Amino acid sequence: MQLTVARIGRPHGLRGEVALDVRTDAPERRLTVGARLDTEPPAAGPLTVTHVRRAQERWYVTFAEAADRTAVEALRGVELVVEADDDEDDDGWYEHELVGLRAEHVSDGRVLGEVVGLEHLPAQDLLVVREADGTRTLVPFVEAIVPVVDVAGGRVVLDPPGGLLAADADRLVVDEPTADEG
């Protein structure tokens, strides 16, 4: 099984440098000069890294196979992938490991739904949970809200704030407007 290390973003400059949306906890191990990375779709690669730099929490690379802005623009959205057996990221989870897990409530263990996906956003990842009534809810994948991920046990434990889940909509706390606001 192939796992995504990064997704190619927008070109940066005119000489083939491109920004990456990194999806691994160890980019410095994967994104090295000389690394040859497979791609999804496969027809876009493999790609050989010729230069790497990091600036303001962003990763930028150039590839031997794409020497200018036009060439890297054609690669936008392509995923850089590795075989699962080659991956040593032990402190993270991949979408294929999370999909299908039961979502249980931290206080009483009641089943809240099932994890059906994982969305990668710039600020944080979001678990996509299908609640019992079929509602799809995005749950911030942070330790405060998802304190337990038990892949072997087939579950994640959620500690959702009031109103996060559709089933808890009646617990939503909304501030009343003050006299000067309204």
pLDDT digits (tens, 9 = 90+) for 72-121: 899 999 988 887 654 444 556 777 788 899 999 988 888 999 999 888 77
Q: Is the pLDDT confidence value at 133 over 80?
A: yes
Which contiguous run of DSSP H or E holds residue 129? strand 125-131
The tokens of 5 are what? 């290390």
Q: Which amino acid is at 57?
A: E
> What pLDDT sits at residue 177?
65
Interstrand relation of 155-158 and 102-105 (parallel, antiparallel or unpaired): parallel
Q: Which amino acid is at 107?
A: S
**Which residues are CB-neighbours of 29 under 8 A, at least 6 positions away?**
88
Helices and strands of the chain, counted as H and E runs:
3, 12
Rounded CA separation 171/61 (Å): 47
146, 139 Cβ separation under 8 angstroms: yes
Of 55-64, 135-144, 159-168, the range with the lowest mean pLDDT is: 159-168
Tens of pLDDT, residues 16-71: 889 988 887 778 888 889 989 888 898 888 999 999 998 888 899 999 998 888 88
> What pLDDT sits at residue 160?
87
